[in-house]
Amino acid sequence: MRVLVTGHLGYIGSRLVPMLLESGHEVEGYDSDLYERCTFQGSIEKVPACKKDIRDVESQDVEGYEAVIHLAALSNDPLGDYRPELTHEINHVASVRLARFAKAAGVRRFLFASSCSTYGASGDEFLDEGAPFNPVTPYGLSKVTVEAELHALADHGFSPTYLRASTAYGLSPRLRFDLVLNNLTAWAFTTGDVRLKSDGSPWRPLVHVEDICRAYLALLEAPVSTVHDRPFNIGSTCENHQIRELADYVRSVVPGSRVTFAPDAAPDTRCYRVDCGRIAREVHTFKPQWTALRGVRELFDAFAQSSLTLEDFEGERFKRITHIKHLIADGILDTDLRHVKRVADGIVREEPA
């Protein structure tokens, strides 16, 4: 299948592209590459790609594909809070624009990177795909609104599928340290403190980035009748954990570490547990391989190999919001997160091609 992956250079995309290629798909990418200076470990698979802001997508950018896997988004709560209108423009408006162009171009399958954060503050009950939405962040709200607009576009020739991923963790060339299990393990490795930023009571569903990629592959290859205009919670029902349980996993793996609380630790309104039974029952090719405890061991080994320091993961290279602000200060991005180019008489924004 000829597949366009938006956000192919990101945390998930840099793991997904090699998996799609290994399965025999023809893959091309679309990414503005905001984090090109942030490769942690390994290399990025090279595929034909368009380096372009997703807000500037045009009809010709999606012509000739059988499927679009749409990952490109601002996926970080501090970035969402920094300028919420940008999350709306990039995650919502641009996603719907992309989908409309894809439908007009005859793209049959459209796999959308939604999120279990759409459930937001939902308590201790297990939530299946029919549960009501209750997002508490601009990021979660953007996913809710896009799902609704894609549903309105769905018909016999255009088949959207909504992948509501659990909270990701695990290694990737474009590693994210803001994700809870990655962050706890990095703090423990570099400081000896498993540093909780909440009281540890909230529930989170967890899924390894590699298993997220397995889900995309399985749903891409599933019969259209199985996935047409349907959401799927991505993960394993048994991999719902309270944050304090994750902290105990990290403490058990990182020698000499102890559980501590950040000075501003406070209750977290984001609390939800999800039921991933639908994908397990209906898409039998999806077989998740990872547990959170195994993921901590993987992360610890990688951090030891790379001699990770606190300055590395809390500094401007790997902390997303700090990195973006540094690019703006250096004139590489403007305040709308668009790349700029230097000319003889100053700096101007790079216009869409």
Which pLDDT belongs to residue 216? 98
Is residue 328 a contact partner of residue 334, using CB atoms and an 8 Å limit? Answer: yes
Average pLDDT over residues 32-42: 93
Q: Note the pLDDT tens digit of each residue in 206-227.
A: 999 999 999 999 999 999 999 9
Which pLDDT belongs to residue 344? 44
Residue 104 lies in a domain: yes
Which pLDDT belongs to residue 151? 98
Domain count, the chain: 1
Percent of the chain with pLDDT over 70: 96
Buried b (16+ CB within 10 A) or exposed e, 237-276: bebbbbbeebbbbbbebbeebebbbeeeeeebebbbbbbb
Which pLDDT belongs to residue 349? 46
Amino acid of residue 240 = N
Residue 282 lies in a domain: yes
Q: Scan for tokens 């559980």, then name that residue.
A: 259
| Number of neighbours of residue 206 by Cβ within 10 angstroms | 24
Distance CA 338, CA 201 (A): 38
Distance CA 20, CA 2 (A): 10
Using the Cα atoms of residue 88, residue 170, residue 236 and residue 242 in order, give the sign of their dihedral.
negative
Q: Kindly report the pTM of this predicted structure.
A: 0.94
Stretch (H or E) spanning 283 = none
Residue 62 lies in a domain: yes
Averaged confidence pLDDT in the chain: 93
Confidence of residue 59 (pLDDT cuts 50, 70, 90): very high
Which of 78, 75, 114 minimizes the C-alpha distance to 197? 78
Q: Tell the burial category of 132 from Cβ atoms under 10 Å away from its Cβ (0-12, 13-18, 19+).
A: exposed
Q: Note the pLDDT tens digit of each residue in 175-199.
A: 999 999 999 999 999 999 999 988 8
Residue 351 lies in a domain: no
- Which three-class secondary structure string do you get for 99-130? HHHHHHCCCCEEEEEEEHHHCCEEEEEEECCC
Residue 306 lies in a domain: yes
Enclosing domain of residue 237: 2-325
Pairing of strands 167-169, 203-208: parallel
Q: Note the pLDDT tens digit of each residue in 247-289.
A: 999 999 999 999 998 887 776 777 889 999 999 999 999 999 9
Task: Please name every residue paired with 27 in a beta bridge, in sequence order, or none if there are none.
Answer: 3
Residue 353 lies in a domain: no
Give the domain CATH number at 180: 3.40.50.720
Which pLDDT belongs to residue 341? 74
Residue 350 lies in a domain: no
Q: Tell the burial category of 322 from Cβ atoms under 10 Å away from its Cβ (0-12, 13-18, 19+).
A: middle
